Amino acid sequence: MIELKTPAEIEAMRPAGAFVAGVLEALRAAAAVGVNLLDLDALAHQMIREASAESCYIDYHPSFGASPFGKVLCTSVNDAVLHGLPHDYRLKDGDLLSVDFAASINGWVADSALSVVVGRAREGDERLIEATERALDRAIETAVVGNKLGDISAAIGAVAAGYGYRVNTDFGGHGVGRTMHGEPHVPNNGRAGRGLPLRAGLVIAIEPWFITGTDEIYTDPDGWTLRSADGSRGAHSEHTLAITSDGPIVLTAR
CA distances (Å), origin 87, targets 26, 40, 69, 105, 228: 19, 10, 12, 26, 18
Where does this chain touch Mg ion (CB under 5 A) — which range of 1-9, 13-21, 95-103, 138-146?
95-103
User: Among residues 85 and 148, whose Cβ is nearest to Mg ion?
Assistant: 85
Q: Cβ of residue 69: shortest distance to Mg ion, in angstroms?
A: 12
Q: Does 44 bind Mg ion (CB under 5 A)?
A: no
Size, binding site for Mg ion by CB under 5 A: 4
Task: Specify the residue, 228 or 240, whose C-beta has the smaller distance to Mg ion.
Answer: 240
Q: Does 151 contact Mg ion by CB under 5 A?
A: no
As a three-state string, the secondary structure of the chain is CCCCCCHHHHHHHHHHHHHHHHHHHHHHHHCCCCCEHHHHHHHHHHHHHHHCCEECCCCCCCCCCCCCCCCCCEEEECCEEECCCCCCCECCCCCEEEEEEEEEECCEEEEEEEEEECCCCCCCHHHHHHHHHHHHHHHHHHCCECEEHHHHHHHHHHHHHHHCCCCCCCCCEEECCCCCCEEEEECCCCCCCCCCECCCCCEEEECCEEECCCCCEEECCCCCCEEECCCCCEEECEEEEEEECCEEEECCCC
Sign of CA dihedral 178, 248, 18, 235: positive
Kindly tell me which of 95 and 238 has the beta carbon lying closer to Mg ion.
238
Return the number of the residue (15 or 213) whose C-beta is nearest Mg ion: 15
Distance of closest approach, residue 127 Cβ to Mg ion, in angstroms: 22
Of 41 and 111, nearer to Mg ion (C-beta) is: 111
> Is residue 56 a contact point for Mg ion (CB under 5 A)?
no
Nearer to Mg ion, 57 or 165 (CB): 57
Closer CB to Mg ion, 98 or 148, in the complex: 98
Shortest Cβ distance from residue 107 to Mg ion (Å)? 18
Q: Which stretch binds Mg ion (CB under 5 A): 3-11, 156-164, 188-196, 230-238?
A: 230-238
Q: Cβ 193 to Mg ion, closest distance in Å?
A: 27
Question: According to CB under 5 A, which residues from 111 to 130 bind Mg ion?
Answer: 111, 113
The single residue among 79, 100, 125, 151 that binds Mg ion, judged by CB under 5 A, is 100
Residues in the site for Mg ion, rule: CB under 5 A?
A: 100, 111, 113, 238
